[in-house]
Structure 1
Amino acid sequence: MGKVYEQIDSDLRAFIEKQPMFFVATAPAEGGRVNVSPKGYSDTFAVLDERTVAYLDLDGSGIETVAHLRENGRITVMFCSFDRRALILRLYGTGRVVTPHDAEFPDLLARFGPHPGVRSVIVVDCERISDSCGWGVPRMSLDEERSTLDRWAVRQDVQKTRDYRAKHNRTSIDGIPGLAAGETDPATVHS
């Protein structure tokens, strides 16, 4: 049976910090498509306090999470253990998008490892923290993190990044607004 926690305690924090990847799920307010995104790079997720977490939103071909959060704020983050310990941890909450234009962006950015191509930081206020067994999840080992996304982002100059984001990140696949025109400029600093 699963357990509900009042907060992210030291054991849950250690579990989260050990995971090489996590999943993010969001959905539009009405109709539209539910989105589930796998996220990698072990240094792109941070526990800010006992009920607040954040992660780097790196360049990508879609903008579903940002669009959904701006529309309704609903988000679930899931960590799934693939090692000996069978455990799934879900963080249900309300998310918000912090862009390079926001005053808190530099302080949040400092919490993560160095990555180019940062579009924003997603901050989640956790309303429910719960686990489940994960007995049906296979055991797998991590060979290595892929560096492809970081290498791609480094090769882009300011104009290429701006053009890419304008083409792929202005609206979700359901037409919900994502990044505004002024938000497509790349951040002048890396995380």
Structure 2
Amino acid sequence: MGKRYEKLSQEDRAFIDAQHLFFIASASNNGEVNLSPRGYDCFRVIGENEAIFMDYAGSGNRTARDIEAGGEVTVLFVSFEKQPLNLRLFCKGELIDKHDDYARSLFEGSDFSGMRRFVKLHIYCVEHSCGMSMPYYEFKGERNDLREWCQDSDEERRLEGYMQKNHTPPDLSKYKK
């Protein structure tokens, strides 16, 4: 059975810091739920009820659109090693400019190429569940594909256009029954 808490503990923070992957789900008034995996060292806990992550260009821009529409965000960290645990953060999001000095200082030494913005998370509930059905996986390293694509696209002056194009939600009415 899951347990719910009002804030992150020191153990939660250590668990989050040790993860190489997290999943972010978001939804807004249109009823569709978006779910995206995120890699890289791009997530920081900045308080008992606050975190921030670097939002890179990639497939679309759904999380930001849902946040702009006042939607909810859930972040999931999963242990694939050692002790099983699923850690969920239920949040409201806030979009922060990619040039924000404070946010950048949290990621000193990071590559900001291809980053759209920072997303600040205001955590209102922390949930633990057992994770005992999760398989074991071994982390072998990060993929540099997205970073390389962003750098190449930026050098060819295509990246800004790509991000602008994906800021507008697509018309999904033809997919609804």
TM-score, normalised to structure 1, is: 0.83
User: Aligned Cα RMSD in Å?
Assistant: 1.6
Cα pair distance change 1:161/1:84, threshold 3 Å: same
Is 2:124 the counterpart of 1:127? yes
Q: Distance in 1 between matches of 2:115 and 2:160?
A: 12
Answering whether residue 13 of structure 2 is matched by residue 13 of structure 1, we say yes
Residue in 1 that maps onto 2:38? 39
> What residue in structure 1 maps to residue 82 of structure 2?
84
- In the alignment, is residue 67 of structure 1 matched against residue 62 of structure 2? no
Deviation at 1:138, TM superposition (A): 0.5
Residue number in structure 2 paired with 1:54: 52
Instruction: Report SS of the residue matched to 2:67.
Output: helix
Q: What secondary structure is seen at the aligned counterpart in 2 of 1:144?
A: coil
Distance (Å, rounded) in 2 between the aligned partners of 1:6 and 1:170? 33
Say whether the 8 Å CA contact 2:57–2:114 is kept in structure 1: yes
Letter in 2 for 1:111: L
**What's 1:110 paired with?**
105
Instruction: State the identity as a percent.
Output: 34
TM-score (norm. length: structure 2): 0.89
1:115 is displaced (CA, Å) by 3.3
Correspondence for 2:175: none
- Deviation of 1:21 after TM superposition, in Å, equals 0.5
Alpha-carbon distance in 1 for matches of 2:96, 2:71:
13
The unaligned stretches of length 5 or more in structure 1 are 176-191
Structure 2: how far apart are the matches of 1:30 and 1:164?
24
Q: Which string of whole-angstrom CA distances, capped at 9 and with x for unpartnered residues, describes residues 78-110 of structure 1?
A: 000100211000000110111236xxx221122
C-alpha separation in 1, matches of 2:125 and 2:36:
20
